[in-house]
Amino acid sequence: MSTILVSGHQNPDTDSIISAISYANLLNSTGKEAKPVALGQPNEETAFALGYFGFEAPEVIREAREGDLLALVDHNEAQQSVPGREKATIISVIDHHRIANFETAEPLLYRAEPVGCSNTIIYKLYREAGVDIPKNIAGLMLSAIISDTLLLKSPTCTPEDEKALKVLADIAGVDVQTYGLDLLKAGTNLAAKSNEDLLNMDAKSFPMGDKTVRIGQVNTVDTNEILARKDDLLRLMAETNGREGYDLFLLLATDILENDSLALVVGDGPEAVEAAFGEKIADQMVQLPGVVSRKKQVVPPLTKALEEV
């Protein structure tokens, strides 16, 4: 039997990379042969977690090939997935996002739950399979939960995420508050990043109505870091729209200490953005108080607004 390639989404974030590692380990522990892969290099937050618990970054793959067996983690939509996946066979999906652009010819294992982090579901899968979670894997998994829920402060966070985080912290022997802030801050070292990096480090594309919308997100402890680079970022977003065919580009800068965001907005449909959030755009920028979750607080209202245009 060929090895199952376990892959997260493009522009991988901490949950995506760690889900590949933790789910591949579970598959290997239950008699299957699996290997974590990634669609890009780990970001600094992810690298911090991998280094802390003694893991290497997963091998980067660029495309899927005929005959490949794929397990998708932390995503399902085709445009977020490995190029060429239509040539491969998807044997399972573990995810916590909406379902779209996903179609198979045969039945498969699909496990999605509306929780804050894919690793919370993977934690349950270990329990259901009766497989012990190794100490260092538990450390990775709790890092993913901290990352996706912003230390349990995101509105995406559920009691199941809290429970999983607590059990994993006991297994890993980690103080969640101390380690968690160190982890989140490791991802906010923006000074060393190019403007291109900021746009791409955590960006996803979404079909909404008849538009393709690109939404990037950058965590920071000081939004002035973004404001100082605003004009260059706006110019680059416009160029990217032209080159990649995006109709609308939003870049969210999320203050992880204050739990607010602002968004830079470039492209068609600024009135839909204003309708979605009930906030006015000024100088191609909109304040989004209390918004930290792209999935829960940005994609649904913007989808609705663009479908009603």
Q: How far is the CB of 125 from a second copy (least distance, A)?
A: 11
Q: How far is the CB of 306 from a second copy (least distance, A)?
A: 11
- Residue from 246, 187, 208 nearest 46 by CA: 187
Q: How far is the CB of 296 from a second copy (least distance, A)?
A: 8
13 labelled binding-site residue:
yes
Q: By rule CB under 8 A, what string of x and - marks binding of each residue 135-164 to a second copy?
A: ------------------------------
Q: Which is nearer to a second copy, 199 or 291 (CB)?
A: 291
Please name the helix (run of DSSP H) or strand (run of DSSP E) that holds residue 240, with its range, or none.
Answer: helix 230-244
Q: Which is nearer to a second copy, 102 or 225 (CB)?
A: 102
Tracing tokens 């940005």 back to the chain, one arrives at 298
Alpha-carbon separation of residue 189 from 12, 83, 194, 287 (angstroms): 17, 30, 11, 22
Residue pair 284/248 in contact by the 8 Å Cβ criterion: no
Q: Which is nearer to a second copy, 111 or 185 (CB)?
A: 111
- Residue from 112, 96, 113 nearest 147 by CA: 96
Indicate whether 30 belongs to the interface with a second copy (CB under 8 A).
no
Binders in 79-108 for a second copy, by CB under 8 A: 96-108
- Residue from 155, 298, 273, 145 nearest 216 by CA: 298
Q: How far is the CB of 110 from a second copy (least distance, A)?
A: 4
Measured CA to CA, the distance from residue 288 to residue 81 in angstroms comes to 29
Indicate whether 204 belongs to the interface with a second copy (CB under 8 A).
no
Indicate whether 112 belongs to the interface with a second copy (CB under 8 A).
yes
Measured CA to CA, the distance from residue 46 to residue 147 in angstroms comes to 9
Q: Is the dihedral of CA 224, 11, 200, 61 positive or negative?
A: positive
Q: Which is nearer to a second copy, 106 or 175 (CB)?
A: 106
Q: What angle do CA 146, 151, 152 make, to 5 degrees?
A: 105
Q: How far is the CB of 50 from a second copy (least distance, A)?
A: 26
Q: By rule CB under 8 A, what string of x and - marks binding of each residue 282-301 to a second copy?
A: -------------xx--xx-
What letter does residue 151 receive in the DSSP assignment?
Answer: T
Tracing tokens 């912003």 back to the chain, one arrives at 150
Residues that constitute the known binding site for Mn(2+): 9, 13, 15, 74, 96, 148
Residues that constitute the known binding site: 9, 13, 15, 74, 96, 148
The residues that touch a second copy, with contacts defined as CB under 8 A, are: 96-114, 128, 295-296, 299-300, 303-304
